[in-house]
Each structure stands twice: as C-alpha cells, then as structure tokens.
Structure 1
Amino acid sequence: MTSVFLTIYGEPVSAGRPRFTRQGHAYDPAKSRSYKRMFRLEAGKQFAELHQKPFSVDQPIEIYIAIYRPIQKSVSKAERTRRLLGEHMPVVKPDTDNYVKIVLDSLNGLIWDDDRAICHIDAWKYYSDDPRVEVIVKEMVPQVNQT
C-alpha cells in the first residue's frame, strides 16, 4: 500500500474567509495565499524526494493531519506543561476545519490528482514548541459496509 508522510515546519495558518472583488470574483486573503504557496512548495520538494506519482483519482485515499500550534508566551509553566503533554488541547480559533481546508487546497493536484478521491479525513490540533503540520496520505483499503 502506498503512503506519503509530509512535515511542513512553521506556524500553521488556517484558510481565511474568501474576499471578493467589486466584480464578484473570490480570492484568498494575502496571509492564506502566501501560506498555501509556501506549503505547496515545501510539500512538492518532499514529495519529489519520494519519487512517487500522485495518487490516481480512481484510487480512494485517506488523509491524516496533525496541526501543531505554538504555545502562547503568556501561559504559566504548569499550563505550558499541560499543553505539551496533551492534557489541555487547543480548543481555540482557528477551527480545525479551516486548517484542513488550506492543507487540502495546497496538496490538490500535487499529491493526488483530484480531491474527489479523498474518502476519509482525520485531523487533530495540538500544542507544541515546534509548530508544524504533519500529513499522512494513504491508499484506502475499501471496507465492506457493516450496517
């Protein structure tokens, strides 16, 4: 089974709300657009080193995303420890789905041919002293529906 593991270092940025021109055309805010460009560039370098072809649209895939946010400087040492141990999870904005959106947008057409092949997504937010996004993409083994 084919799988790809990517680690993109730096503070994660979530997808911002689209902006609109006076003519009604939508575009990404500058911060989202810049992060998406950087994410795609770094993912492309890592993917090229694996010497793999993109996942085919005919092959269902599953994706696992771990978002590691930096810990705020203002928290106590005890709270910092709790966050590093995963006892206190980042239930703060931005929402997990906005992080997922920017990751999927960045990797579409690069790691997989078309995002319609994505059949399963798991995503988590954590705190870390080493902010980054980790992505695992795997060929999905179809399962018989048990219901």
Structure 2
Amino acid sequence: MIRLTIPGEPVAQGRPRFSRRGKYISTYDPPKSRGYKEYIKQIARQELHIEPLTGSIRINVKVYRSIQKAGSKLTRRKKQDGIIRPTVKPDTDNYYKAVSDALTGILWEDDNQIVEIHVGKWYSDQPRVEIEAEEID
C-alpha cells in the first residue's frame, strides 16, 4: 500500500476553459487547477521514490476541507468528529480527477489502470488530501 498526504486546502479539477486563436479554438486547464496539480506532483516526487505501478489499482482518496468560521460550537464539533460532512460544491469526483491526473506518470503509468475508487469528503482543522493506492493483481 502506498500512502501520500498532500497538505493544504484541496482544489477540485475545474471545468476546461476555451480560447480562440484566429480560426482555432483550444482548451486549457484553469490556472488554479493547473497550479494545484503541479503542487501534487511536486509533493509526490519528494515523498515517493518508486517506479509507477503497472497493474490494476485500487485507490482511496480522502479530502479534508477547512471548517468554516461561521456556525455554532456544536456544529463545529460535529464537523470535526465527522458527524457533519461537506455536502457542498465542489463535487467529490472533481477532487478525484485532479488527484488522478496529477499522479499519472508518478504513482501509476496511466489513470486507466485504476479499477476501483473510493472518494470521500470530511471537514478538518488541517485541510489536506490523503491518497492510498495499491496494486490488486
């Protein structure tokens, strides 16, 4: 099992942007998404000194978002304890997409190797993304 923690506020994959250059239209990653994916790559290269996995992969991604300042002490406590979970945007699949894109070529050769996925969102005083990956064949 390979474990990796990305400290800091998680950033979900944004919708692609389009620009026109003469007769041509090109798509590009929003700057915030692109920057976060580069940050994930940097952390992964520092922490993981492995060859990319080559088989079928099971992945578990835990997204810990900051707890908002507004709200009662009881609500804050419930968020810290995982009783209240984030049901707000961005969607969990967009967090997963940012992680899977960033780790392609570092943790696995291609994200099509991922055959089993579990992604969840929680609140925390220490925002981060925790990733666990293992080959299952």
TM-score by length of 2: 0.95
Partner of 1:122: 118
Partner of 1:68: 64
Taking the TM superposition and a 5 Å limit, the aligned residue runs for 1:1-147 are 3-22=1-20, 23-48=24-49, 52-56=50-54, 59-141=55-137
The alignment covers a number of residue pairs equal to 134
Paired amino acid for 1:79: T
Partner of 1:144: none
* Pairwise CA RMSD: 0.8
Q: Which moved more, 1:112-121 or 1:122-131?
A: 112-121
Q: Distance in 1 between matches of 2:71 and 2:36?
A: 27
Q: Distance in 1 between matches of 2:56 and 2:103?
A: 15
1:25 counterpart SS class: strand
Question: Could you report, residue by residue, the CA deviation over 1:58-109 in whole angstroms, capped at 9, with x for unpaired residues?
Answer: x111100000000001121110000011111100000000000000000011
Q: Distance in 2 between matches of 1:26 and 1:47?
A: 31
1:14 counterpart SS class: coil
Greater percentage in strand: 2
Structure 1 residue ranges, 4+ long, deviating more than 4 angstroms after superposition: none
Q: Percent same amino acid among aligned pairs?
A: 46
Q: Distance in 1 between matches of 2:113 and 2:33?
A: 24
Q: Which runs of 5+ in 2 are unaligned?
A: none
TM-score by length of 1: 0.88
Q: Which runs of 5+ in 1 are unaligned?
A: 142-147
